[in-house]
Chain A
Amino acid sequence: MSGLLDRRRGARPAREAVPVVLTDRYSPLPRKVLVRVIGYGLLTLGTLLYLGPFLVQVATSFKTDADAVGNPVSLIPSPVSMAAWEIVAGSNPAYSVPVFRWLGNSFVVTISVTLGRLIIDSLAGYALARLRFRGRAVVFAGVVAVLAVPGVVLLIPKFLVLNELGMFDSYSGMILPLFCDAVGILLMKTAFEAVPAELDEAARIDGAGVFRTFWSVILPLVRPALVTVTILSFQGSWNEFTHFLVATSNPDLATMNLGIARLTAGDLQGSQQFPLKLALATLSTIPIAIVYVFFSRYFMRSGNATGLK
C-alpha cells in the first residue's frame, strides 16, 4: 500500500526508473533475446498443457468412436461425426441420454441456490457489519467456524439430516443445504464495512427504517460484492457433485454432473463411447466458460476470497 502511494507521490522519476531496470532495457541484446525466448517458450508450453486438453476434448466430441480411440491426439476429426452430439440433442432414437432433464435440474438448482445465497449472505453480512445486537459475536464466530469444516466430512451428516427431515430425493433437499455459505457472508460483511457509516446515519435521519436503509441505500453500493457472490455460487453449485450424490437416488433428479458421473463410473467396462462422454463434459463446461469469458476478473477475485479459508 505504502509502495503504491510512494510511487504516486514520487511521480515521474520513480516511474521512469522502474521499467528501466526491470525490463532489462540496457542489458546486452543477446541476453535479452534469450530471456524472452525462454519466457515465451515456457508460456507456450504452459498454454499447451492448460488449454490443449480442452481442445482435445472438443475435437474428440466430433469424432467417431473408432477415430477417438485410433487417433486420440489429432485435433481434426476424420471423418467429422455428429453422432455424439445427436445423442446429446436427443435426435438419436436408438440411444438416449436424458440430457435436457439433467440440464434443467442443474439450472433449477444453480439459480435457486444463487438467489438464496444472495439474499441470505447480504442480509447476514449487513447485520454482522452494521447492526448492533446481542449475540452478534457468537453468530460471527459460528460463521468463521464453518470455514474450518472440510466439506467431504459432511457427506454422511447431510444425508442423515435430509433423511430425518424427509427431504431425501427432493429439490428442497438438493437446494437448501447449499444455502450454507460462510465465505459469501464474510465477503458481504467486508463489502458493507467499506461503506461509510455516515450513509446509514443520513438515511436514518431522513426517517428510513433499518430494512429501507439496507435495501435502498447501502445494498446498491456493494454491487461488485454481489456480482462476486453471484459468480461464486453459480460456479459452485453448477460444479457441485458430492452433495447431489448423497442427497438423491432418483435418476430424474440427476444434475449434469451427477448424470455424467454415473454414466462414466458405471460404464467403465462396457463400450468406451468417449466422443459422447466428452461431448457431455463439453456441454457441462460451456455455461461456466461463457461466464468466465465475461467475468474472469470477478472469478479471480472470488478465487482469492475463497482463500480466506
Chain B
Amino acid sequence: MTATVTRKASADRTRPVRGRRSSGHLRQERRAGWLFVAPAVIVLVVFLFAPILMAAWVSLLDWNGQSSPFSGEADFVGLDNYRNLLVDAGLLRSDFMLSVRNTVYYVLFNVTGAVVVSFALALAVNSYILRGRAFFRTIFYFPAITSSVAISVLFLFLFQGAGVVNVVLSWVGIDGPSWFTDPRGVLHIVLSWFGVDGAPGALSDTTLGGLSLWDWLSGPSVAMCTLIMLTVWTTSGTFMLFFLVGLQDIPVELEEATAIDGAGAWQRFRHLTLPLMRRSVVLVITLALIGSWQVFDQVFILSQGSPAKTTLTPAYISYVRSFGDGQFGVGAAVAFVLFAIIIVLTLVQRWVGRERRA
C-alpha cells in the first residue's frame, strides 16, 4: 500500500509534462530502466537477501557445514539453537551472556570515548584562531581509512607488556598492566581500591542469564580497554568529520551576535554550539552504536576472546561456533540475535533522539 503511494509520488515528481508526448520513448525507457537496475538487483538478491533467508533456515538446523543444508540430511531442530543461546543453562548461554556483557561495556565506553574525542578534535580543527587546520584534519582522519588488520597488528605491538604504551606510562611513574592478559574488570579494580575485593553476598547469589550480578558489574576488562582505545582511535576521525559538518552549519552571524552580546567562549559553547549540535551528536551516537556491536576483526587478531573470555563478542562467537566447531546452526542463530539487538537499539536510539528534538 505504502509502496504504491511512494511510487506515484516519486513518478510525478520526475515526470515532466512534456515527457508524455512520445509513448514509444516511454516504452523504451521502461525496458531500459529494468536493464539498468538488473545487475544491482541480481547481485543484491543473490548475495544479500537470499543468503539472509538461507541463514534463517540454517539457524533452525543442526548443520555441521558438510553437504548441503537444503538436502534434508541435517536435522531440523526448530528453535533449539535459540533456546540454548538464550534460555537453557549451559556453556553456550554462559558464553553468549559473557559476550553480551563484554559488548555492552565495550559499546558504552567506546561510544562515550568516540563522541568526546571526535567532538574535541572537530572543535580544535574548526576553531578560527588556529592555523593549519586542513593539515591537522588530514592527520586525524588517517587512522580511519587504514585497514583494521594493520591497525590491530600495530596495537599488538604498542600494548605489549614492555611495549611503547607501558614505557611511556613509566615516564610519568605509572606501572602499566600487561594489557592483553589481564582479565580483571575495570570496575572491580576500582572497587578493590576501596577494599571491596570479593563479591558482596547479594551480588554473587543473584544471577541473570546464568551470570552473577557481580560478574555483570565487572566493567570492561583491561584487555577489552585496549580494544576500546583502538576503536576510539580509528573511528574518531570519521566522527570528527560529521561534527565538522554540523559545526560549519552553525551560522556565523549567530556566533557573532552572542560574542557581541558579551558571551565568553565557554558560554558560547555551552548555550549555542552544544544545543545546535544535538542532531550531529545523535547521528554519531547511532553510528557508533551500530558499529560497536559488530566488533570482530580486532578481536580475531588481538585477543581471540581471551583472557578469560572477557573480549568475547557475539560476532566472534558466531564465527568460531560456525567455522571452528562446525555448529553453523548455532552461529546463524547468534547472528540473528545480534541483528535483532542492533535493530532494537537503533529504534530505541532514534526514538529517544526524536523525542528530545521535539
Contacts and interface: CB of A to CB of B under 8 A. Distances in A.
A117 B297 CA distance: 24
A46 B14 contact: no
B51 interface: yes
A154 B157 contact: no
A183 interface: no
Interface stretch (B87-95, B187-195, B202-210, B253-261): B253-261
Contacts of B37: 123-124, 127-128, 136, 139
B242 A307 contact: yes
A160 B157 contact: no
B142 A156 contact: no
B307 to A, nearest CB: 12
Contact of A21 (B70, B260, B343): B260
Interface string A285-307: 10011001000100110011011
B32 A131 contact: yes
Contacts of B44: 142-143, 146, 180, 182
B158 A56 contact: yes
B50 A161 contact: yes
Interface string B2-41: 0100110011001110110000011011111110110111
A210 interface: yes
B39 A139 contact: no
A182 to B, nearest CB: 8
Given A131-B36, A136-B10, A156-B331, A264 B47 contact: no
Contact of B7 (A72, A127, A136): A136
A210 B29 CA distance: 7
Contact of A210 (B32, B141, B256, B260): B32
B129 A24 contact: yes
Contacts of B160: 69, 72
Contacts of A73: 164, 167-168
B43 A176 contact: yes
B10 A284 contact: no
A296 B139 CA distance: 10
Contact of A133 (B33, B46, B49): B33
B241 A39 contact: no
A95 interface: no
A238 B160 CA distance: 27
B259 A22 contact: yes
28 contacts: A7-B252, A22-B255, A46-B121, A50-B140, A51-B139, A56-B158, A124-B41, A127-B36, A132-B15, A133-B32, A140-B10, A142-B41, A143-B44, A148-B346, A150-B293, A153-B342, A159-B323, A176-B43, A179-B39, A180-B44, A180-B47, A197-B16, A209-B28, A242-B297, A277-B157, A281-B149, A281-B154, A282-B150
Interface of B: 3, 6-7, 10-11, 14-16, 18-19, 25-26, 28-34, 36-37, 39-41, 43-44, 46-52, 54-55, 58, 68-70, 120-121, 124, 127-130, 132, 136-158, 160, 162-164, 167-168, 233, 237-238, 241-242, 245, 251-253, 255-256, 259-260, 265, 283, 287, 290, 293-294, 296-297, 300-301, 304, 315, 318-319, 322-323, 328, 331-332, 335-336, 338-339, 342-343, 346
Interface of A: 2-3, 6-7, 14, 17-19, 21-24, 32, 35-36, 39-40, 42-43, 46-47, 49-51, 53-54, 56-57, 60, 68-69, 72-73, 119-121, 123-124, 126-143, 146, 148-161, 163-164, 176-177, 179-180, 182, 185, 197, 201, 204, 209-211, 214, 235, 238-239, 241-242, 245-246, 257, 260-261, 264-265, 274, 277-278, 280-282, 284-285, 288-289, 292, 296, 299-300, 303-304, 306-307, 309
